[in-house]
Every structure is written in structure tokens, then in C-alpha cells.
Amino acid sequence: MDVIIYHNPDCGTSRNALGLIRNAGVEPHIIEYLKTPPTRLLLRQLIHRMGVSVRDVVREKGTPFQELGLGDPAITDDQMLDAMMAHPILINRPIVVTPLGVKLCRPSETVLDILPAPQLGEFRKEDGEIVIDAAGRRAATA
């Protein structure tokens, strides 16, 4: 099964999503998008397939978002894409592609909505939160 994750190894959410993919017995194609950013066309296609706006995929925290004035509502999608191409850190992550769809997996457990394989056992996020119980089912949330 082909699964692709646009991944930042320095991001806990991205690492947790990768862990959940692997907990389903799947070794995904990992694209470290800061080293190998998607092309403008591919990014536009991913955004379209997610069914979200370009702004929905822009990361503000820890990026030059404010310095570039990207919060201005007059900024067009094309200008936003230009900024994302010039500064890939603006692309929010992780974006996961599976046979069931494409999703920005924030929080990380949203990857479960598009994974076609079941979880194989318990999974805890890096902070210790149980996401999948020992039977491979989503843990109850508080």
C-alpha cells in the first residue's frame, strides 16, 4: 500500500503521525519537505485533494508568516503559494497521502481517518498520551 508523508523530523506531531502509520504495519514513503519541497503544482494538487483552502495549509508558528505580512486578507492564494515555495517551513505538516485520501494530520491521530490498514497494537504519543489501546482500537478521549 502506498502511503506518503510530507514530514518534518523536528515536529512532534509529524513524528507521532509517522508512528501511527508504522503502527499499522505500513512503511511510508517519507518526504522531508524542508529538504525536498513539493513543486508548486503538486502542493496546489495536494491542497485541492484535501478540500481545504491554501490558507488552511499555511503554518504561522515558528515561520516568517508575520514578517512576510501573510496575515493580510488581501494576500491571494498565488501570493501565498509563492511564499510557501520560497519558505517551505510555511507548509504545515504532516500532510499524508493514502489510497483513502489526503489530509493535513493535525492532530496526528487524524491520520487514522485515511489509513486503510488497522492498528496492530498500542500506540502512545511522545507525551505519553494513549491513542491506540492494546487491542488496536482508538483509545477513549476524555
User: Interior CA angle at 98 toward 78 and 91, to 5°?
Assistant: 30
C-alpha cell belonging to residue 138 = 482508538
C-alpha cell belonging to residue 6 = 510530507
CA distances from 114 to 2, 30, 85, 97 (A): 12, 16, 26, 8
105 among known catalytic residues:
no
The total number of residues shown for the chain amounts to 142
C-alpha radius of gyration, the chain, whole number = 16
Measured CA to CA, the distance from residue 78 to residue 80 in angstroms comes to 5
Active-site option among 3, 11, 81, 91: 11
Catalytic residues: 11
